[in-house]
Structure 1
């Protein structure tokens, strides 16, 4: 049988007077009930128990379990008696018991029964305390934990915490699913081993400086290497937010919040391929426009030179003494051939610039480079051009050839629009100006305008005002301008005609 409680070192208790012991018992804040070990009747209760149950000591002593316990099945008299008997037999017994106060209020408590051997015989001392708030708190915590677990399981975002060496301290269920790893393989694993070499190097650098970040989050992209896959296109990409955390010294390390952006990255790669194809298409479109203009322009000086040379040959056949006239004819032929050479040099310079990448340039200079070719097209259709270029610099970052192609495309469209109007009305105006933080080019004609057209569909590739056109020039122009961070629009002109304008961010205000 276990050693009874209360038999050891009772000599120390005798040092207290009975009145002092009474005061000590009275000061105890825990509720105390003393039961007879044999009958289980209440022998005594301290003031805290009387106050909690709402009974006086005289009222409390004759009560039985049904009078002061919940009537719920788990708290029946036989259950309470069995609990007290375990304390008699084993020395100590603890249960969660629901007492009921005099006014019928349930008191949830943790009750601990201890056998104490007194001079009069053994008794069972029950100590209990109200745990209603704790029970409610535990219930709330359990409910919150359940909700959090459900949320974490269904999150699109993974959560991982790494120690200073980059090993996994914690991984949410959603992180396990996103990484496609077995939960056991993640525990204490080197997280960098799951990443492609370039992303692993970025993570190692971040780990080396994580403690000095002052809690400020950093964003990045990480590439997850698919094990056993030789094709890197099978890799997956994650957007990751990293932040160093220290939660009451319980969880300390680098917190990674990440979600899968593989579809976004692949869409961006597809967009880059489309942009490259756009550049390719725009450059060949530019060459086609140039070829038509040059074919017409070069044919004139070459024909003239041919005529001069033919005349010189005829004179030589008829009169060997006509040196002066022969020299004049040869010089004239040479000038015409020089003119043709100059045209070809201009074309060659343009072609060389086709391969230039984005650079800082004055938009006025791009328009000036296009002037010659636009003039050629205007002369073909007897259209008068008016140029109004601002004296203010318009520095922009752009691919000069592509922006030049947009200028020429808008100007050629305006010239062809005016070709069927009476000669005296055939005018096209090309202007440059500064509009706030943007450089603007505006091409204005005096044609039939846009009144009968769907203005919102002009740049979608389905619009053309030409009988044999397909509208691809405006669609390309729209893509070129928007890819440079600019905007392009069309509007009716006053009193008639249309105005096409595009704007590019000035270099000093560009990101």
Structure 2
């Protein structure tokens, strides 16, 4: 460039003297110091003339790794190989040890080869590195012991970073998650929520909370798992940029909430049930009087008839039978609903089944189903709310009857049995129908299972809640050779 100064050979001395890096020049053969630049003299506190006669022990740390023979070997390696690097601790004139990174380079001068050593103070750098390693170790320890998983997703939802806890929650290793589409871990509706968060999140927006349901490995019938997540956009020095998710497992919380909803449904059902009982009692009371009056009128007409009365007598006789049947139905209904007690009482489980028998017989006769009662002669004392346990028995028996109504007449059989088994009183309802398809026995009482085309599975869910509240359990198994067996167990009350 026109006007630019030319650098001459004499200028290199001034440029070399202006270097901030420290430079020592050693004789290639004897390793004696020949020269030092001003920066080296300033750091070590010696003049060039003071440095020339010094040996390694005079200007190095006393530590074993800085012994003279090690320093000579390092310099000789530079003579032989052209260059050599070492971490070396020089000692200043005032006795201060200076940790450095030293690079020795062979330089062939006109008078012969020399070794030029460039070194810089790395004590502060080493301390900083130790602090970083210590901080990084602590962070790794904290992250490993956090209950929350941490992931960072790019704009396409692919994982840029995953903590060890995140990998554990998702069932993998952190490195295996990198580059994976995180939405693939989620159920479809939750994946849609995540993609919305990815498109609407940006710098400066407040964090948002969300719930995500994981995709069920076993399909729709597998147990669901849920995460609560806090989402926020981050941009760390343009090095890590994307959607930060902090998430933890809330499966137990969601299940508890579901149980609470089932409890609310149960209470609503119970309120309706009690209201129906009150209505049934009122209807039974009102209807029983005109039925009794009609019965008396028929009896009066028959008493005034001469002979058998022909067709009129036949009609009156059958009318009387129908009135007797209606009266029996009302009597059974009143006896059943009159016990809508809200407190537990000591009762024989056999008596509860007996109270239910009439209603089950009526339903069985309507569907031409053969109903067999196999009640034990042993007492089965239990402490329970009689009407609720009766509701369970009715529900299971009605379900069995409705199932068998779909089969040929010769196969339509339902058995209701009671027995004692250890410390439990047991009621079993057995049918010989199709059984439970691919039996999801662990899920038929969760309120979402039904074998009826128009059913919702609420009856079984309520039955399960009633029985478990009484300290018992209800099970469903395959009946032999085919069909379903429902078994209810209640703790026996020992007097």
TM-score interval w.r.t. the shorter chain? 0.5 to 0.7
Match of 2:121 in 1: 130
- C-alpha deviation, 1:144, in angstroms: 1.2
Match of 1:38 in 2: 29
Match of 1:226 in 2: 216
Match of 2:235 in 1: 246
- Of 47, 65, 71 in structure 1, the residue corresponding to residue 56 of structure 2 is 65
Decide whether the 8 Å contact of 2:229 with 2:245 is kept in 1.
yes
Q: Closer, same or farther in 2 for the Cα pair 1:61/1:163, shift >3 Å?
A: same
1:444-494 Cα offsets, whole Å, 9 max, x none, are: xxxxxxxxxxxxxxxxxxxxxxxxxxxxxxxxxxxxxxxxxxxxxxxxxxx
- Of 81, 84, 102 in structure 1, the residue corresponding to residue 72 of structure 2 is 81
Q: Distance in 2 between matches of 1:144 and 1:230?
A: 44
Match of 1:199 in 2: 190
- C-alpha deviation, 1:227, in angstroms: 1.3
Q: Tell me the SS of whatever aligns to 1:143.
A: helix
- Of 237, 250, 258 in structure 1, the residue corresponding to residue 247 of structure 2 is 258
- C-alpha deviation, 1:120, in angstroms: 1.9
- C-alpha deviation, 1:247, in angstroms: 1.9
Match of 1:143 in 2: 134
Q: Tell me the SS of whatever aligns to 1:40.
A: coil
Q: Does 1:15 pair with 2:8?
A: yes
Decide whether the 8 Å contact of 2:231 with 2:246 is kept in 1.
yes
1:4-58 Cα offsets, whole Å, 9 max, x none, are: xxxxxxxx998243xx444333322111111111000011112221221122222
Decide whether the 8 Å contact of 2:151 with 2:166 is kept in 1.
yes
Q: Tell me the SS of whatever aligns to 2:201.
A: helix
Match of 2:269 in 1: 280
- C-alpha deviation, 1:103, in angstroms: 2.0
Q: Tell me the SS of whatever aligns to 1:235.
A: coil
Decide whether the 8 Å contact of 1:158 with 1:175 is kept in 2.
yes
Q: Does 1:54 pair with 2:45?
A: yes
Quick check: 51-60 or 80-89, which moved more?
Answer: 51-60
1:260-280 Cα offsets, whole Å, 9 max, x none, are: 000100011111111122223
Q: Distance in 1 between matches of 2:275 and 2:92?
A: 95
* 1:317-328 equivalences in 2 (<5 Å): none
Q: Tell me the SS of whatever aligns to 1:208.
A: helix
Q: Distance in 2 between matches of 1:247 and 1:187?
A: 18
- C-alpha deviation, 1:216, in angstroms: 2.5
Match of 2:163 in 1: 172
Decide whether the 8 Å contact of 2:79 with 2:105 is kept in 1.
yes
Q: Closer, same or farther in 2 for the Cα pair 1:216/1:115, shift >3 Å?
A: same
Q: Distance in 1 between matches of 2:244 and 2:205?
A: 10
Q: Distance in 2 between matches of 1:228 and 1:182?
A: 21
Decide whether the 8 Å contact of 1:53 with 1:101 is kept in 2.
yes
Decide whether the 8 Å contact of 1:241 with 1:258 is kept in 2.
yes
Backbone CA RMSD of aligned residues: 2.8
What are the ranges of 5 or more consecutive residues in structure 1 without an aligned counterpart? 1-11, 307-511
Decide whether the 8 Å contact of 1:218 with 1:241 is kept in 2.
yes
Q: After the TM superposition, which parts of structure 1 deviate over 6 Å for at least 4 consecutive aligned residues?
A: 287-292
* 1:205-224 equivalences in 2 (<5 Å): 205-211=196-202, 214-224=204-214
Decide whether the 8 Å contact of 1:215 with 1:245 is kept in 2.
no
Match of 2:147 in 1: 156
- C-alpha deviation, 1:181, in angstroms: 3.0
1:338-387 Cα offsets, whole Å, 9 max, x none, are: xxxxxxxxxxxxxxxxxxxxxxxxxxxxxxxxxxxxxxxxxxxxxxxxxx
- C-alpha deviation, 1:177, in angstroms: 0.3
Q: Closer, same or farther in 2 for the Cα pair 1:184/1:148, shift >3 Å?
A: closer
1:195-242 Cα offsets, whole Å, 9 max, x none, are: 11111111122222234x64431110000123124424x121000111
Q: Tell me the SS of whatever aligns to 1:136.
A: helix
Q: Tell me the SS of whatever aligns to 2:95.
A: coil
Q: Distance in 2 between matches of 1:224 and 1:209?
A: 22
* 1:239-388 equivalences in 2 (<5 Å): 239-285=228-274
Decide whether the 8 Å contact of 2:166 with 2:174 is kept in 1.
no
Q: Distance in 2 between matches of 1:88 and 1:182?
A: 49
Q: Closer, same or farther in 2 for the Cα pair 1:266/1:149, shift >3 Å?
A: same
What are the ranges of 5 or more consecutive residues in structure 2 without an aligned counterpart? 294-495
Q: Tell me the SS of whatever aligns to 1:278.
A: helix
Q: Distance in 1 between matches of 2:166 and 2:114?
A: 58
Q: Distance in 2 between matches of 1:290 and 1:54?
A: 108
